[in-house]
Amino acid sequence: MNPPGQAVCPALTAKPGGPLNGEVHAPGDKSVSHRSMILGGLASGVTEVSGLLEGEDVLRTAAAVAALGARVDRLGEGHWRVEGRGGFVEPAEVIDCGNSGTGARLLMGAAAGFDLAVTFTGDASLRRRPMGRVLEPLGQMGARWLGRSKNRLPLTLRGGALRAISYRLPVASAQVKSAVLLAGLNAGGQTEVIEPEPTRDHTERMLRAFGARVEVFDEADGRHIWLQGGQALAGCEIKVPGDPSSAAFPLVAALITPGSAVTVRGVLLNPLRAGLFATLQEMGADLQIVNLREDSGEPVGDLIARHSHLRGVEVPAERAPSMIDEYPILAVAAAFAEGRTVMRGVGELRVKESDRVALMAAGLQACGVAVDEQRDSLTVVGVARGAHPVRGGARVTTHGDHRIAMSHLVLGLAAQAPVTVDEPGMIATSFPGFVDLMTGLGAEIAP
């Protein structure tokens, strides 16, 4: 199977208007969606996935899993069937991961334990992103590769017999942790990953759902995750919860737009992903979490956001792993708050799809918001009760980054003047249907 080509999309403009009201469902969580495809392909038997995020990134991963030997079928909207054969085989063609760093890094780890050679590539953005942080531990385990300078894609990985290692993450990274654990499934001995700060644990949870034994211990020097090599995975049913990173956009839009009340149902509330919601509540947000429940081993709930008077806070660096993708939309909320919001530990944002710290700082400044950008921090000076409201009125350069685009569109809904973003086609990588969902709540977003 092959993912559809990315549609060409003109610039989008968000105009200030009336309040946002209504109930929506968040699209499926991207992290869980990627992992359901990859583990389904590694397992023996059938895995049925419901609620899959059908964005460009995940479709690329589904196509990669099919190229690596699994049978992958779409049964209906968000409903997919993966028939794995207990491992990967050498693909006939290059694996194109598009814009997805998660897909590329996790697939590298999963493929490293098999006797095959596979070439990975991606779009222009992904080809600039660092792969060395994943390749270093995979190399210690016995994998080999040949790539461009600075270990950039395109890159050919040669897998085979791996040895287990104990690896301490130099920086908190769920992608690197997951790649090592997936490689460890086919390594001799017990693989250990030690992380300085706990990162999203969807891989550990889902490995258990597929029948693997994963042990986690918190020690004085960090969190230790142990996985014995040679474990077989069995297909299972996975229900993908709503993505908290996507839910953040309509929720923050409601918080900053007068008269608004928005409910987002079925949102993943894994404590290692809920840093934004805790931060917004610290800022005084009228943000309620109701109907808590559990789906496929993950906590899920409904969130209700109402327009609120927000105040600036200091977000500690140790919270970064639990909200690393949400800092751009938090910066928008901070622009409408009273006082300064200081976000520390955000250096990882500089090696995402773009330098998100620099792009958010530039976009906010173009919209009349004062910011202070440092290497590992971003400070936003909110204008609430100040001399002027958020001005808006800018055309924002996104460098094709979906989160930068969506964040500035949300800002435009509550600013004085419309905000336009270029290259909005990339929004489909993580949030297909974003514009329709937002306009359904009353937002004015159009080309």
- Residue type for position 106: L
Q: Are strands 314-315 and 338-344 parallel, antiparallel or unpaired?
A: parallel
Contact assessment for residue 300 and residue 294, using Cβ atoms and an 8 Å cutoff: yes
Q: Are strands 187-188 and 162-163 parallel, antiparallel or unpaired?
A: parallel
Helix ranges restricted to H, 266-372: 275-282, 327-335, 356-366
Distance CA 17, CA 254 (A): 12
The residues annotated as belonging to the active site are 325
Collapsing DSSP states into helix, strand and coil, what is residue 117? strand
Distance CA 299, CA 50 (A): 16
Distance CA 109, CA 144 (A): 12
Q: How far is CA 195 from CA 163, 164, 226, 344, in A?
A: 20, 17, 12, 19
DSSP secondary structure code for residue 225 in this structure: E
- Count the neighbouring beta carbons within 10 Å of the beta carbon of residue 292: 10
Distance CA 445, CA 424 (A): 11
Q: How far is CA 163 from CA 76, 132, 137, 156, in A?
A: 40, 19, 11, 20
- ∠ CA 102-242-286, rounded to 5°: 115
Burial class (CB in 10 A: 0-12, 13-18, 19+), 290: exposed
Q: How far is CA 104 from CA 109, 176, 287, in A?
A: 9, 11, 35
- Count the neighbouring beta carbons within 10 Å of the beta carbon of residue 361: 20
